[in-house]
Amino acid sequence: MTIKLQIPIDQDVRDGLERRARSLGFDSAQAYIRVWAKAEADGRTLDFDGKAVVLSPAANARYEEMIAEFEADKKAGTIKEFTSVDDFMKDL
């Protein structure tokens, strides 16, 4: 069952919330609020700024090496690129 929650809010706050939601990849402020509300109801904390994950120096070095290898392969032209899902699926 879905229940509607109507909350009066200042237009400037709503506009700012809409911009923030879109900057995070949500399609609307409502979608952003739904995700936040579900996390709150479950007792979870969301970190949209990416500050919660800190890699160890070893993991960071490993990822940097992987990225460097990918960039080198891309520059060398050995990375496959696809312009459509159909082309990608055919390659699989």
Q: Where are the domains of the chain?
A: 11-42, 49-79
d(CA 45, CA 36) in angstroms, rounded, equals: 9
Is residue 5 within 8 Å of 11, Cβ to Cβ? no
pLDDT in tens, 37-84: 999 999 998 888 766 677 899 999 999 999 999 999 989 989 888 899
- Amino acid identity of residue 62, one-letter, is R
Which pLDDT score is estimated for 41? 95
d(CA 78, CA 85) in angstroms, rounded, equals: 19
Which pLDDT score is estimated for 49? 77
Write the DSSP symbol of residue 50: S
pLDDT in tens, 7-45: 999 999 999 999 999 998 999 999 999 999 999 999 998
Which pLDDT score is estimated for 45? 86
